[in-house]
Structure formats: structure tokens, C-alpha cells
Structure 1
Amino acid sequence: MSRFVNGLIACANRTPLAIGVYLTSVLASALGVSRVEGWGFGDSVWWAFTTTTTVGYGDLSPATVPGRVIAVVTMFAGIIGIGVIVGRIAAVVIRTHDDFTHEEQEELAADVDEQLRLLRQIQRDLRTATGARGTATGSSRARG
């Protein structure tokens, strides 16, 4: 689990640009729609976040053509921005799982090699013991 958390932390360290671009697009959309629609900045930020996350409650919607153009750009920016962020997190999860599986396979391979070595040693010991007894047993049977 700590490997997963470390991977997420590494992902977070590598994705500030994606998050920064996402937040900048939200704020730029909010500023633009605030000016063309005449909304307050708080309502515009609310609208921009609900639009970029594709939630779209419908409580606010642009009525002007420039506002609708901003809305379309905001929708695409949100889909792309969130997709990039989620994609980076998914890459960490997949990489962490692959690394774990690879380590596990290496450990299992080492265990199998050790078991095979022990099995071969047992086979040699059995051949030696059987060969020695077979000679002794064979001699006593031949006498008897």
C-alpha cells in the first residue's frame, strides 16, 4: 500500500502543470463568462467548475453567443484537463501493480529454483541410498 501512496505522491509532484492549466482555464472561463453574461465572479466560478466537471446543475447557463462559445471551450478544457489528471493517476496505479507483480514473480521464481535444487538433491540422495541398499539387498537375496 505504501508503494501505491508513494506513486500517487510522485504523480502529484509531476502533475502541477496539468492542475495549473485546469485551474487557469476554470478561472479564465469564469472571468470571461462573468463579463459577457454580467454574473458575479463567485457565480461564474461556480458555473465554470460545474461545467468543467460536466456536472452542469443547470442553475446557471449562458444566454449570449459569446457566453455559449466560452461554455463550449470550457467544456472541452474540462474534459481534457480532468482526463489528463485521471490518466496520470491511472498510470501510477497500473505501474504500481506491474511493479508489485514483477517483484512477486521474481520472489516466486527464486522459491521455485530453490525447491528444484532441493528436489534434485533428494533425487541424488535417493539414488545413492537405493543403489547402496539394492546391492546389499541383492547380495542377501542371492545368498538366501
Structure 2
Amino acid sequence: MSKVIYEALAKYKKNDKLPYTEYFSLGFFETKDLALEAIILAKQLSGFRELYDENFYFEKLYLNEGILRNSNTDDTIKDNKIFILWYGYDIDSIYTVGGTLGVFSNYEYAELAREKYSAWDIFIVHGLENFGINKVTLNKRQWSDGFVKVYD
């Protein structure tokens, strides 16, 4: 069974008339408790402070999911760094759709998953340049300051 990684998230939607919801990744964590701590700290920041409890949540991701696993697959996290395979593309002049496709213990595994997902119609239509792989520090908050809502 693969190791679970928790992504702490916040979402904001100005009103129900808009079809879009904005999502903020607060970081990736080894335990649910660390993800919840990141959420508690985010709730104290500008912008996030105005959101309701139901706007905060976490997703369970499985390390190295999306690649062909074999006896050589290494689930070891080195130097507390993981590799995030993400996507993002513009749907109009204001909004971008995006999210996390997977978390990986090394860059090569993220590349393998990117190759697999590159055959999906949505990425062919919107362009393969809308994929990315970022190295992030596990158990470190991604937001240390808040945000300002510019469309209110």
C-alpha cells in the first residue's frame, strides 16, 4: 500500500452565480494532523480569515500513484522533498482551472505520470505546456501570508 500524503486546501467562491471556485493549496503533509494544523494557521490570515470552516479541507493523495509499480519502485522520500505533478489552463481571461494530479517520491516518477496523462484528451486540447512538476518541501505550509480579493 502506498504512503498517504495530505494536501491541505481552501476554496473561495464569490457567489453562486459564478461557475468558478478558486482553490488554494496550503501545502502537502505526511499526516492528517499536520494538514489540519496548516488549515488552522491559514484561517488566521487575511482573505482566508473571511472563509467558513467548510471552505477548508484536505485531499488524500497516494505517493507514486499513477505509475506502473514494480519491485524497483522506491517510495522513499529523500530530504523531505516530493514532486507534485500539476495542471493548469485558462478557461477565460480571469480564471484558470488547475489541480494536483499526483505526488511522487522522485522526479522520474512524476515524468512517467506526466507521459501517461499527456494522452488524455483534455490535455491534448489545452496543450501539454499546461503540465508542470514542482519540487516541494513536505510538511511546510505554502501560504504564510493571506490574499486580497480583487473581484469583490
Q: Normalising by the residue count of structure 1, what TM-score does the alignment of the two structures yield?
A: 0.24
Counting helix residues as a fraction of each chain, which structure ranks higher? 1
The structure having more radius of gyration, on CA atoms, is: 1
